[in-house]
Amino acid sequence: MATSKPTPALSKRTLVLVGHGMVGQRFLEAAAERGLTETHRVVVLCEEPRPAYDRVHLTSYFSGTTPEELSMTDPEFIEQHGIELHLGDPAVEIDRATRTVRARSGLTVTYDALVLATGSYPFVPPVPGKDTTGCFVYRTIEDLYAIEEYAKKHATVGAVVGGGLLGLEAAGALQGLGLTTHIVEFAPRLMPVQVDEGGGAALLRTITDMGLSVHTGVGTQEIVADPERGSVVSGMKLSDGSELATDLVVFSAGVRPRDQLAREMGLTVGERGGIAVDEQCRTSDPDVFAIGECALAADGRVYGLVAPGYEMAVTAATAIAEQETTGFTGADLSTKLKLLGVDVASFGDAHGASEGCLDVVYSDSRSGTYKKLVIGAEGELLGGILVGDAEAYGTLRALTGTVPPLAPEQLVLPAGAGAPAQLGPEALPADAVICSCHNVTKGEICEHTSLPEVKKCTKAGTGCGSCVKLIGQLLPKSGDDGLCGCFKHTRQELYEIVRVKRITTYARLLDEHGREEARGGEGCEVCKPTVGSIIASLAPTIGADGYVLEGEQSALQDTNDHFLANLQKNGSYSVVPRIPGGEITPDKLIVIGEVARDFNLYTKITGGQRIDLFGARVDQLPMIWARLVDAGFESGHAYGKSLRTVKSCVGQTWCRYGVQDSVRMAIDLELRYRGLRAPHKLKSAVSGCARECAEAQSKDFGVIATANGWNLYVGGNGGMTPRHADLLAQDLSDAELIRLIDRFLMFYIRTGDRLERTAAWLDRIDGGLDHVRDVVVHDSLGLCDELEALMAAHVAHYRDEWSETIEDPERLARFVSFVNAPDTPDPTVRFVPERDQIKPELPLIPLEGLAVR
């Protein structure tokens, strides 16, 4: 695959970039910023079949992030700057005499300047059996594809050779794939480069508690194959004489610079690898540059982190543009990662190599927390290691080299353990570097007002991502991200807490997970109905009573749910029986007419194909519903944040254009999803042909018939901000359609915010429609079985709320206007006649001295 442009005018010089990873893409951006794309023809030879992607967050693929979401390459950027990007076509030969580069496809390009960004390759120990089927490396998206596919079909146990950064990420991936997982590390501790003995011990305790087996201080001697299974991996022999049974092996024992091209073209390389460069990132050939993990910097190091690679990319672009540069003289090796859910960070002189330095250490083996700060002779902060709690990483790293405003022991103590006010970002000077990937200071960040603006203008937060939280603390506060003053968690987080911990009461949730100052309180009008909805939606699976007015649940509901009816402007209520698909028998129509007549209710046929009755007093609701339920009606849930209606046309049964039975499908869907509690109301429609008479594409989920089945549209909204629904899948059978709607609705309920319609949710959620399609159609997160089970539980346990209410005298007791005078109707509920019906009597409103109705 290649993206190419017409060859530019001959007056342009030619710049060739070999390699298109994260550092290569940063070089292109720096080149464009310095005008090189205007003065040069830029040709990029990329070995992988896809453009640059975020290798730092590669493991997130196993938690649902798609390769497209990992991409760091904007096609518009490539197009705008006329860059010739050749994918899957690496450079195979470079001739310095003729200044030409030949690609695998045979493409030959003559260069004026050449940049090598070939990166590194995984180191595989030279042990017998290393090429056995079932052995993998962990470096590219294609590697992950291969591991995932093999694990699904052939493995129950996996082993990772290497306990460093990538090794722990690989172990987490294998465990996430359902494999019993082992980690084999030759060093005496995990992450030997980043953490010391104490940090390694804390990390080990936490990881073993997660169910992983860790073998440190031993090496891999041989990969054992089972010839009876086709010579595939069956185990490993270790250096201590023990054997480890495993079906799959991932080598993640470090990387080596990819310098083979440089060796073949006669460039100087280091004794242990790496293309030697000067401070301008020039190789021994002044027209050839090397950047990133393939380069041996002037300080004698090969840097394997993204931040130094970015700095080298900028340095090389500046040198080629013949602009002034300070050059690359070395880089900060600080890093912060979340490995297997554990925060691990190191910064500065983490191991205390500086002369005369002292350590300040806090360790809590029970919580898996370890903190060490290295302090210089004059009290300056030289570096540190944080395991389990890396909350202060951003601030501490930025203070490295200075004397902190608090004593070191106060910086490592946890909150509540005797430490005074913790060190915050306000303590940082304006010139403190917050984003080391892009060398962005606090002062530069504080010139902006939002994280997206910071990322766009400074690139801070777009590298490894470890600075994002600190950036957020530096920006003006727009409000608390929590649901309300009672909970610091979002609705989505509370949903997961309730689901996983099977919490069935609001009181328990508030006591265990509410803000400290709110615990033991009564909650507020924001969180109480939200939590009530969450418990109701999960009731069958967590063991709660799904009836919204049962016990504590009744106190959580807002006014509408509290009386199972919509409150109207004059204090009366509406009565809305369900009419699935708009289909109703004459007998049921007569009952509705009789009820409306006998209780003097205003009657309206709505746009959702049902009949609404308005003007009922609260004390009349049970009597009205007793008659409706007796006639076979049930609640239409017009009062709830739940499914309202599934509208339909008459479909192929009556219409000469219809191609499917839309009425039957609408009825099936409405009966399936009736009573389903959600972050907001849900509306649907089914059209029997493409003429779209039911207006399905303006609904939260809409269905349109085709000659081959059904097309499913999602995320439509005809409200204040209309949004056309998007096509999720097409030509579905009945079973496929229902299965996808089940998944879509449950994924929305699981991840939507409070009072967020599906239209706003689809626009907000990371990845938008493509991500939702990956989750509910392609099961990218592996959630579909669970989502379907949740919906099946809802369908199986559905109960009509009004049917249950009128059969229980205790529940009926709530339907009174005055608790101390239950037989007295509300005298303020009054009506006046209009068009042979009633309407609310409006209060007198003084306007410029006049009483106007």
DSSP 64-88: T--HHHHB---HHHHHHTT-EEETT
Cα separation values, 752 from 80, 373, 529, 746, 789, Å? 36, 41, 15, 10, 19
pLDDT recorded at residue 581? 86
Region 466-475: what's the mean pLDDT? 74
Enumerate domains of the chain plus CATH numbers: 2-120+257-320 (3.50.50.60), 135-253 (3.50.50.60), 332-423 (3.30.390.30), 491-557 (no CATH), 643-796 (3.30.413.10)
Contact 306, 463 (CB under 8 A): yes
Q: Is 710 left (phi over 0), alpha (psi -120 to 50) or beta?
A: beta
> Taking Cα atoms as reference points, which of 172, 153, 211 lies closest to residue 62?
172
pLDDT recorded at residue 30? 94
Over 90: is that where the pLDDT of 97 sits? yes
Over 60: is that where the pLDDT of 819 sits? no
pLDDT recorded at residue 166? 83
Over 50: is that where the pLDDT of 852 sits? no
Say what angle helices 784-796 and 527-542 make with each other, to 10 degrees.
90
609: pLDDT confidence band, cut at 50, 70 and 90?
confident
Over 70: is that where the pLDDT of 466 sits? no
**361 φ/ψ angles, rounded to the nearest 5 degrees:** -125, 135
CA distance 631 to 299: 87
- The three-class DSSP label of residue 434 is strand
185: pLDDT confidence band, cut at 50, 70 and 90?
very high
**643 φ/ψ angles, rounded to the nearest 5 degrees:** -65, 130
pLDDT recorded at residue 67? 85
Average the pLDDT over each of 150-154, 213-217, 767-771, 814-818 and give the range with the smallest value. 814-818
CA distance 89 to 47: 5
Region 76-99: what's the mean pLDDT? 94
Region 806-825: what's the mean pLDDT? 75
Contact 592, 599 (CB under 8 A): no
Say what angle helices 768-776 and 734-751 make with each other, to 10 degrees.
120
**469 φ/ψ angles, rounded to the nearest 5 degrees:** -65, -45
Region 182-211: what's the mean pLDDT? 86
- Give the whole-number percent of the chain exceeding pLDDT 90: 46
Q: How many residues belong to the chain?
A: 853
Over 90: is that where the pLDDT of 318 sits? yes
User: Which tops the pLDDT comparison, 314 or 62?
Assistant: 314
Over 50: is that where the pLDDT of 420 sits? no
Q: Is 763 exposed, middle or buried (0-12, 13-18, 19+ CB in 10 A)?
A: middle
Over 60: is that where the pLDDT of 843 sits? no
Say how many C-beta atoms besides its own lie within 10 A of residue 137's C-beta. 21
Tell me the one-letter amino acid at 423. Answer: L
Q: Retrieve residue 630's tokens.
A: 């007796």
Would strands 295-296 and 275-276 be described as parallel, antiparallel, or unpaired? parallel
CA distance 825 to 794: 37
CA distance 106 to 216: 47
> Taking Cα atoms as reference points, which of 499, 502, 505 lies closest to residue 552?
505
Region 89-104: what's the mean pLDDT? 95
CA distance 208 to 812: 55
Beta-ladder partners of 853: none
pLDDT recorded at residue 346? 86
Over 80: is that where the pLDDT of 62 sits? no
CA distance 339 to 505: 33
Start-to-end C-alpha separation, the chain:
72
Question: Residue 778's Cα: distance from chain center in Å?
Answer: 16
- Order of strands, sheet of 135-137, starting from the edge strand that comes earlier in the sequence: 135-137, 248-251, 157-161, 180-185, 213-216
For every residue of 175-214, DSSP letters joined together read HHTT-EEEEEESSSSSSTTT--HHHHHHHHHHHHHTT-EE
CA distance 185 to 192: 9
Could you tell me how many helices (H) and strands (E) the chain has, helices first? 28, 40
Average the pLDDT over each of 26-30, 245-249, 370-374, 784-788 and give the range with the smallest value. 370-374
pLDDT recorded at residue 794? 92
Over 70: is that where the pLDDT of 70 sits? yes
For every residue of 541-596, DSSP letters joined together read HHT----TTSTHHHHHS-HHHHTTS-B-TTS-EEE-B--GGG---HHHHHHHHHHH
Cα separation values, 396 from 39, 374, 613, Å? 43, 11, 64
- 3-state SS, 93-142, equals EEECCCCEEEECCCCEEECCEEEECCCEEECCCCCCCCCCECEEECCCHH
Cα separation values, 302 from 72, 264, 319, 348, Å? 24, 20, 20, 17
pLDDT, tens digit (0-9, with 9 covering 90-100), for 146-165: 999 999 889 999 999 998 88
Cα separation values, 13 from 43, 313, 646, Å? 11, 19, 63
Region 835-841: what's the mean pLDDT? 84
> Taking Cα atoms as reference points, which of 286, 252, 273 lies closest to residue 123?
252
What's the DSSP call for residue 53? Answer: B
Supply angle C-alpha 569, 805, 672, rounded to 5.
Answer: 90
CA distance 803 to 442: 62
Over 90: is that where the pLDDT of 65 sits? no
CA distance 252 to 243: 19
pLDDT recorded at residue 553? 67
Contact 77, 32 (CB under 8 A): yes
Over 60: is that where the pLDDT of 75 sits? yes
Tell me the one-letter amino acid at 559. Answer: T
Q: Is 379 left (phi over 0), alpha (psi -120 to 50) or beta?
A: left
- 736-756 b/e (C-beta count within 10 Å ≥ 16 → b): ebbbbbbbbbbbbbbbbbbeb
The H-or-E segment that residue 642 falls in is none
569: pLDDT confidence band, cut at 50, 70 and 90?
low
8: pLDDT confidence band, cut at 50, 70 and 90?
very low
Over 90: is that where the pLDDT of 424 sits? no
Tell me the one-letter amino acid at 583. Answer: E
Over 70: is that where the pLDDT of 333 sits? yes
Would strands 180-185 and 213-216 be described as parallel, antiparallel, or unpaired? parallel
CA distance 770 to 757: 18
Q: Retrieve residue 431's tokens.
A: 């010139």
pLDDT recorded at residue 555? 59
Over 70: is that where the pLDDT of 603 sits? yes
421: pLDDT confidence band, cut at 50, 70 and 90?
very low
CA distance 215 to 217: 7
Over its C-alpha atoms, the chain yields an Rg (Å, rounded) of 33
- The three-class DSSP label of residue 151 is helix
User: Which tops the pLDDT comparison, 266 or 656?
Assistant: 266
Average pLDDT score, the chain: 86
Say how many C-beta atoms besides its own lie within 10 A of residue 199's C-beta. 27
> Taking Cα atoms as reference points, which of 296, 282, 287 lies closest to residue 94?
287
pLDDT recorded at residue 684? 95
